[in-house]
């Protein structure tokens, strides 16, 4: 038929190759030159950080702003990965992943999102960093809040902002006592060292955690880290709220640091199956273990309730530990978890308490975790355990 001809197989192949070439020339499927340029700038910046090279850092932009804030950090690794770049003329905004590792303390890198803004010199055609800030959904890092001061202890590294060397030394001394205390109680494998962050204020603590300050008012310290296996817990941090911590007495300060260090030690064996009454109760049990405090001294809120005939009907739930909960109710939740763990240590033995903690964490989910661990390690049921715990409270407080 006129106007038509049969297309041979070789013609089809040639046409496909032509289309591939045209698409590759379209720009978006090929390598993005701006993204590659930004990655090279940040690679140079990372090398300058690791080399403590102020001039090289300044050469990547911003006249070296921020270098002094982080130069004291003992770093084993520091790298950037550019995930995306949005360019408008001679300015660009990069979505960046920062990975860094504190030398001698972190099993793996801390990973955090950064928003890096850059500008380009039109004549030289070179990109330079204009600003580097936490990404929208990421918390601040210590150097975002000011110059980081570093104090090394025997078992600790304390990083502070807006704090004197003397104040940070006191934290190091407390942490250095906490680490052996935790190792004496917890028979699991852990690094036996801890990193403590001490910001200037409650607001600084909240900034590091990427949450409102109201969430942590009255909370002396928290521990950050991913639960569920050693590979997911590479870099725990104990973050102090200096406003609340400063109100504590000497014993209270030591108990808090020991409590938080316990979370670092048990992190690899803490999973989504572990209820908060067990993880928080165990940490308090270690914190108070050698303190000489009686049950009534360490659990005044719960003691008052039981003395008035209001014995809890159940163990504390995860919701009872919410930081926005009523202060007295939150205290009773911690005290109830502590006394449950103390009861296990007294009635079954400390080794069984450790074994029970690990057995719960071996489960992939909450359902059945307590039942199995109580049966296998303690030879009891949740119902019987709760009844024994209620009797234990009455015996000490009624």
142-177 confidence digits (pLDDT tens)? 999 999 999 999 999 999 999 999 999 999 999 999
> What is the average pLDDT across 321-344?
91
Cα–Cα distances in angstroms (integers) from residue 197 to residues 9, 137, 171, 297, 336, in the given order: 68, 20, 10, 29, 28
For the stretch 253-293, pLDDT in tens is 999 999 999 999 999 999 999 999 999 999 999 999 999 99
* Residue 53 DSSP label: -
161 burial type by CB count under 10 A (0-12 exposed, 13-18 middle, 19+ buried)? buried
pLDDT given at position 47: 98
Show Cβ contacts of residue 176 under 8 Å, excluding neighbours closer than 6 positions.
153, 154, 155, 156
Listed in sequence order, the residues at least 6 apart from 61 whose beta carbon sits closer than 8 Å to its beta carbon are: 41, 45, 118, 119, 127, 128, 129, 130
Nearest to 206 by CA among 353, 197, 102: 197
Q: Please, which residues have CB within 8 angstroms of residue 187's CB and are 6 or more apart in sequence?
A: 351, 354
The DSSP secondary-structure symbol of 232 reads G
d(CA 366, CA 228): 13
φ/ψ bin of 61: left (φ > 0), alpha (ψ from -120 to 50), beta (otherwise)? left
What pLDDT, on a 0 to 100 scale, did the predictor assign at position 233? 53
| pLDDT, mean over the chain | 90
Q: Give DSSP secondary structure letters for 294-345.
A: -HHHH-HHHHHHHHTT---SSPPPGGGG-TTS-HHHHHHHHHHHHHHHHHHH
Assess whether pLDDT exceeds 80 at residue 218.
yes
Q: β-strand 75-88 against 91-102: which pairing, if any? A: antiparallel
- Sorted by sequence, the CB contacts under 8 Å of residue 63 that are 6+ apart come out as none
Q: How confident is the model at residue 226 (pLDDT cuts 50, 70, 90)?
A: low
pTM check: above 0.85: yes
How many angstroms separate the CA atoms of 7 and 11, rounded? Answer: 6
Span 344-372, mean pLDDT?
A: 97
Residues 73-86 have a mean pLDDT of 97
Q: Which CATH architecture best describes the domain 33-138?
A: Roll (3.10)
**DSSP letters of 116-147?**
EEEEE-TTT--EEEEEEEE-TTSPPPGGGGSP
CA atoms within 13 A on the CB side of 241: 21
Yes or no: say if 143 and 70 are a contact pair by the CB < 8 Å rule.
Answer: yes
Q: How many CA atoms lie within 13 A of 327 on its CB side?
A: 6
Distance (Å, rounded) from C-alpha 68 to C-alpha 80?
19
Give the closest residue to 131 by CA, choosing from 149, 148, 119, 146: 119
CATH fold, domain 139-268, is Zincin-like (3.30.2010)
In the predicted structure, residue 26 carries a pLDDT above the cut 70: no
Does the pLDDT at position 324 exceed 50? Answer: yes
Each residue's pLDDT tens digit, 96-142: 999 999 999 998 899 999 999 999 986 667 999 999 999 999 999 99
Q: 248, 206 in Cβ contact below 8 A?
A: no
Is the pLDDT at 345 greater than 80? The verdict is yes
Q: What residue segments make up the domains of the chain, in order of their start?
A: 33-138, 139-268, 271-398
pLDDT at position 325 is 63
């Amino acid at each position: 038929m006129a106007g038509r001809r049969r297309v041979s197989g070789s013609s089809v192949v040639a046409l496909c190759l032509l289309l591939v070439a045209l698409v590759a020339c379209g720009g978006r499927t090929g390598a993005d030159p701006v993204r590659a340029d930004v990655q090279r700038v940040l690679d140079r910046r990372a090398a300058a950080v690791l080399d403590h090279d102020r001039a090289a850092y300044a050469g990547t932009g911003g006249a070296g702003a921020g270098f002094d804030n982080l130069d004291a950090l003992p770093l084993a690794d520091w790298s950037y990965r550019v995930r995306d770049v949005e360019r408008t003329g001679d300015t660009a905004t990069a979505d960046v992943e920062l990975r860094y590792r504190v030398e001698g303390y972190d099993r793996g890198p801390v990973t955090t999102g950064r928003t890096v803004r850059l500008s380009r010199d039109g004549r030289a055609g070179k990109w330079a960093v204009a600003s580097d800030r936490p990404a929208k959904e990421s918390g601040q890092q210590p150097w975002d809040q000011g110059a980081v001061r570093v104090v090394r202890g025997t078992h600790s590294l304390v990083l502070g902002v807006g704090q004197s060397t003397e104040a940070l030394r006191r934290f190091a001394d407390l942490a250095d006592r906490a680490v052996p205390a935790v190792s004496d109680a917890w028979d699991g494998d852990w690094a036996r060292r801890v990193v403590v962050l001490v910001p200037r204020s409650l607001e600084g603590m909240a900034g590091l955690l990427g949450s409102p300050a109201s969430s942590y008012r009255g909370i002396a310290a928290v521990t950050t880290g991913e639960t569920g296996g050693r590979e997911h817990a590479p870099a725990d941090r104990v973050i102090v709220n200096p406003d609340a911590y400063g109100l504590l007495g000497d014993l209270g300060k030591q108990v808090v640091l020991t409590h938080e260090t316990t979370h670092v030690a048990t992190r690899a064996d803490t999973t989504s199956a572990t209820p908060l009454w067990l993880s928080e109760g165990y940490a308090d049990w270690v914190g108070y273990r050698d303190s000489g405090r009686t049950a009534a001294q360490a659990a005044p809120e719960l003691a008052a309730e039981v003395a008035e005939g209001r014995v809890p009907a159940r163990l504390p739930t995860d919701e009872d530990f919410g930081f926005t909960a009523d202060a007295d109710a939150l205290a009773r939740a911690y005290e109830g978890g502590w006394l449950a763990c103390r009861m296990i240590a007294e009635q079954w033995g400390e080794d069984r308490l450790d074994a029970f903690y690990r057995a719960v964490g071996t489960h992939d989910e909450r359902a059945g975790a307590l039942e199995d661990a109580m049966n296998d390690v303690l030879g009891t049921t949740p119902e019987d355990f709760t009844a024994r715990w209620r009797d234990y409270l009455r015996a000490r407080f009624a």
